[in-house]
Amino acid sequence: QKEVEQDPGPLSVPEGAIVSLNCTYSNSAFQYFMWYRQYSRKGPELLMYTYSSGNKEDGRFTAQVDKSSKYISLFIRDSQPSDSATYLCAMMDDKIIFGKGTRLHILP
């Protein structure tokens, strides 16, 4: 079992919908959880990070961590075509391990 599991998609949703992206993990040592967004032919860029279980909100984005279930989520409200990208979850102990990424398409 890989340390971090993420459904690669693709996930297509209409503009304005709420998007839910998820990852599961197996290593209970992970303390720091991140979501990166990657546009085609670009490097990943950090969207959100959180230390602990619970929710963290930033504009249209909400990151959720449930350590007891080893499950993290990213919610995007009022999705826009510009949100179309690959979203990677990542987790850190002394190194950062990434999920495979989920390709998201927002349909105008």
Partner 1 sequence: NAGVTQTPKFQVLKTGQSMTLQCAQDMNHEYMSWYRQDPGMGLRLIHYSVGAGITDQGEVPNGYNVSRSTTEDFPLRLLSAAPSQTSVYFCASSGGMNTEAFFGQGTRLTVV
Work out how close the CB of 43 gets to partner 1 at its nearest, in angstroms, rounded to a whole number: 4
Using CB under 8 A as the binding rule, whether residue 11 contacts partner 1 is answered as no
Kindly identify the residues of this chain, within the stretch 38-97, that bind partner 1 according to CB under 8 A. Answer: 41-46, 49, 51, 88, 90, 92-97
Of 83, 99, 104, 106, the one binding partner 1 by CB under 8 A: 99
> Closer to partner 1 at the Cβ: 16 or 54?
54
Structure tokens at 107: 């349909």
Using CB under 8 A as the binding rule, whether residue 100 contacts partner 1 is answered as yes
SS3 82: helix
Q: Which of 90, 100, 5 is nearest to 49 (CA)?
A: 90
**Do the Cβ atoms of 85 and 76 come closer than 8 Å?**
no
Write the CB contacts of 81 (distance below 8 Å, at least 6 apart in sequence).
15, 106, 107, 108
In the complex, the residues that contact partner 1 under the rule CB under 8 A are 6, 8, 31-32, 34, 41-46, 49, 51, 88, 90, 92-101
